Structure 1
């Protein structure tokens, strides 16, 4: 029903939706309830937004497909609101979720891929772009070590990012990694140019049509065995961009060690630098401790035992 108008629920106590609400699984019950309502996912998302609950279309789609499930506080609030919006019995959907799945350093081994909602914006553009190149190998790797170096030019924009990383295979046949980059608001995806530097080659490249988002497949030279590690390096050049104020890395899965360095041109030095942190359900990144600019005009952070979320460095211009 393209208009997104909610249909009046009738008494169908023995209908398939009501059976699914009693027996599950969650994603089938959710999909059936949405179908019965006549709402599109876009209309449902809009009604959630009216209640102050932000959920991406990709997340709603994944929930009803069984590709992911709501577990975090904001997501559970969304499910409770969906029950009200669709006229369902209270807790009928929430009860089908059961206990949260285990989290922690190795919990991600069995997890389905996370979307970018709550990590980076624009989440929908990121999910749409990344989904087209993510294969099953995305679930087969975890970051053992990763180093990002971002170069900020005299024009105060990030001009180049180089990443060197070691990944570990959780399953046999892992053979690729996906580079994902989201530029400054107002930039163009056409100005983002990827390069395979060491132990990888470029595969599929997808750029979002209206947002500065790019997803790049980096193909290994062989398939990995379970437990095997692999070193690769890649870079991204940014031709044109608005002024940059931070660099941040989103971790959809737990990771071992992360190092971020930012190097500034001597003609454009910031007056202050500080650490950035964002948990998946936080609306904005939180500022952390100040980081002192070195004599070489660079700053860095180093973190170990990374949980899903966002880490980065922000800076202020005079």
Structure 2
């Protein structure tokens, strides 16, 4: 019986002694961006590479893992289909279908790794009831590979916070949206008007709209998975609800406690901001006290 794609890939990785992180770095050396989640899914048979950039990664994997040319590509066949898709279609369980969709979203998010973040701008608006009303995100991106056609954005709700909904989008059209209520994460695809060639830049803007009447807000954060050349964070408090103290926060990893690194002065009109050059990967944000 012929081994499947994921079985052959798993054996080749095991025999090579390379970690997935090492394989990912070697792919990046060849200007091919693949997320660790995607490599893990391919290895376990959870999903299969289908897009042009993913198939290019398979060809590179043959070289990295010292396999005969075409040996992995042939196992994909002419019309590869993720095994999980058939399983999800057979299932009548909404939770199982949602789990597969989330896995698919993780796979599609690998395109984010092929987009360099040049600049990030975030505007947070709060109302007179001290609650966050909307969060406007602007990103200037540059494609690191040919054929990149989407960006995946996610919002992870703070404890006790209701998930926002995606509002206006500029520079792209809205694709698939997934709301994972158990994890309190909302994901959305922002689909470009055309596939980007390597080196082309694109400016995106999207807004998260928050439901009202759910209590006060005291924190706002964003995650930069690969850093950015510049990060601008602005907060606009209502003139009738200005906090007495406000701080910039920074957290390089989940294992490290969040730190209040600098106090921010809130002006009489209710606005404050900070600007970072060469912003590192990690959690950047602002916290404020109402008393």
TM-score by length of 1: 0.60
Q: 1:197 aligns with which of 146, 153, 169?
A: 169
Q: 1:235 aligns with which of 186, 189, 207?
A: 207
Cα 1:195–1:156 shift into 2, 3 Å: same
Q: Alpha-carbon deviation of 1:265?
A: 0.9
Q: 1:166 aligns with which of 140, 149, 155?
A: 140
User: What are the residue-to-residue correspondences of 1:152-231 with 2, within 5 Å?
Assistant: 152-189=126-163, 192-231=164-203
Contact 1:185–1:242 (8 Å) recurs in 2: no
Cα 1:20–1:143 shift into 2, 3 Å: closer
Cα 1:310–1:131 shift into 2, 3 Å: farther
Which residue pairs with 1:25 in the alignment? 17
Q: 1:140 aligns with which of 107, 114, 119?
A: 114
Consecutive unaligned residues of structure 2, counting only runs of 5 or more, are 1-10, 38-98
In 1, Cα distance between equivalents of 2:135 and 2:154: 12
Cα 1:101–1:202 shift into 2, 3 Å: closer
Cα 1:114–1:156 shift into 2, 3 Å: farther
TM-score by length of 2: 0.65
In 2, Cα distance between equivalents of 1:128 and 1:266: 45
Instruction: List structure 1 segments (4+ residues) > 3 angstroms apart after TM superposition.
Output: 19-24, 109-115, 127-132
**Pair 1:283-2:275 in alignment:** no
**Pair 1:150-2:124 in alignment:** yes
Contact 2:33–2:114 (8 Å) recurs in 1: no
Which residue pairs with 1:14 in the alignment? none
Contact 1:130–1:180 (8 Å) recurs in 2: no
1:139 counterpart SS class: helix
Contact 1:184–1:244 (8 Å) recurs in 2: no
1:138 counterpart SS class: helix
In 2, Cα distance between equivalents of 1:301 and 1:169: 27
What do the CA deviations read for 1:218-256 (whole angstroms, capped 9, x no partner)? 111111110110012110100144422111111111321
Cα 1:133–1:22 shift into 2, 3 Å: closer
Q: Alpha-carbon deviation of 1:294?
A: 1.8
For the aligned residue pairs, the C-alpha RMSD in angstroms reads: 3.1
Which residue pairs with 2:54 in the alignment? none
Q: Alpha-carbon deviation of 1:156?
A: 1.6
Cα 1:251–1:22 shift into 2, 3 Å: closer
2:112 counterpart SS class: helix
In 2, Cα distance between equivalents of 1:128 and 1:150: 32
Consecutive unaligned residues of structure 1, counting only runs of 5 or more, are 1-18, 28-65, 70-96, 116-126
User: What are the residue-to-residue correspondences of 1:80-95 with 2, within 5 Å?
Assistant: none
